[in-house]
Amino acid sequence: MSVGQAAARLADLQYAAGWRMVRAVPEPLARRAFEAGAGWVARRGGAGPAQLRANLARLVPDAAPDQLDALVVAGMRSYGRYWSEVFRLSAPDVPRIHARTRMTGPGLPALLAAIADGTPTVVALPHSGNWDAAGAWLVEQLRQSGREPVFTTVAERLRPEAVYRRFVGYRRQLGMEVVAAGDSTAAHRALTGRLRGGGVVCLVADRDVTGGGVPVDLLGAPARLPAGPARLAALTGALLLPVCPRFTPDGWAVTVAEPVPVADRGAVPAAVQALADVFCALLRAKPEDWHALQPVWTADVERVAEGAGAGVAA
């Protein structure tokens, strides 16, 4: 076994142990342990907390340094809670998640009507709160509305492959159809097929991981965001709804914004900009739940890329 294979095997075993062991302890104890560990990571520092601080400084520009310090710790604890829930949630939890999720926002009637009457819908959301729990709410809502209890989403292919398969299996057992982001043809076919059948597609859309996103003005600075949600809406005539999940002390909350119009392909850039504006407004309501440990703004993306290039050259 090569060094790379051994490392991949170790990573897989660690995730497998996480799923097994965290479910063996009471939920409050697991959450406290993950939040405490994440808070320690925030105070110790490192690339992830540093990038989170930079992103939160842009999102909350009026925050004083001590307020920003507190936000980073709260943000890392929120991220720890996300992981404790990932390792605990399973199919039997879906009705409980639905019952403990508070849905609000001016776009909620449009979402509920779309589910009821089969209007194709693209839900676009940031990495905030627990987006898997939000997906579980949607699965149960579809089931209660007499619709097929499945929606389609895309998963970024992780390394090692065994870990990626575990995450796909986890989301599928919650009731989601998952397609790999790396196979663009298969993903496009699955997503458009779901929408043309009157179904729902959910896409996390606050970070451009391909480098081919649409340029936007994000709080006064350039960034790129994925065009996928807007393009799918333009192609299929689907409703485009921005939503933002967040945590509550004893459950979850999701705000549904007004639908973003996408008349045709020419309207895609404006729709992506509209999504950017809505995401920022929604995230500011509870910034510590934005799990932005990677660069989002163009300047940060380029800085990180240059640093990575310098390391390789050395």
CATH number for the domain that contains residue 201 = 3.40.1130
Instruction: State the pLDDT at residue 313.
Output: 34
Q: Is residue 121 part of a domain?
A: yes
Average pLDDT over residues 129-145: 94
Please say if the pLDDT value at position 118 is more than 90.
yes
Q: Is residue 43 part of a domain?
A: yes
The answer to whether the CB of 219 falls within 8 A of the CB of 295 is no
How much of the chain exceeds pLDDT 90, in percent?
63
Q: What is the pLDDT of residues 142-196, one digit of tens each?
A: 999 888 778 999 977 655 566 667 777 888 888 999 988 777 788 899 999 999 9
Instruction: State the pLDDT at residue 6.
Output: 43
Residues 257 and 283: their CA atoms lie apart, in Å, by 12
Residue 95's SS3 state is: helix
Alpha-carbon dihedral angle through residues 119, 152, 280, 45, given to the nearest 10 degrees: 170
Better-scored residue on pLDDT, 105 or 28? 105
Pick the range with the lowest mean pLDDT from 53-57, 77-81, 157-161. Answer: 157-161
Average pLDDT over residues 65-90: 90
Please say if the pLDDT value at position 254 is more than 80.
yes
Mean pLDDT of the chain: 87
CA separation (Å) from 273 to 37, 83, 101, 230, 269?
36, 30, 28, 10, 6
Instruction: State the pLDDT at residue 310.
Output: 42
Instruction: State the pLDDT at residue 87.
Output: 82
Q: Is residue 132 part of a domain?
A: yes
**13 closest CA partner among 213, 160, 196:** 160
Q: Is residue 311 part of a domain?
A: no
Please say if the pLDDT value at position 57 is more than 90.
yes
Q: Is residue 301 part of a domain?
A: no
Average pLDDT over residues 64-77: 94
Q: What is the pTM of this model?
A: 0.88
What is the number of domains present in the chain?
A: 1
Q: Is residue 312 part of a domain?
A: no
Average pLDDT over residues 12-32: 61
Residue type, 36: A
Instruction: State the pLDDT at residue 5.
Output: 45
Give the pairing of strands 200-204 and 121-125: parallel
Instruction: State the pLDDT at residue 3.
Output: 37
Q: Is residue 90 part of a domain?
A: yes
Tell me the sheet residues that pair with 121: 200, 239
Instruction: State the pLDDT at residue 4.
Output: 45
Instruction: State the pLDDT at residue 308.
Output: 61
Q: Is residue 176 part of a domain?
A: yes
The whole domain housing 249 covers 3-296
Both tokens assigned to 300? 């940060």
Q: What is the pLDDT of residues 204-222, one digit of tens each?
A: 999 998 888 999 999 999 9
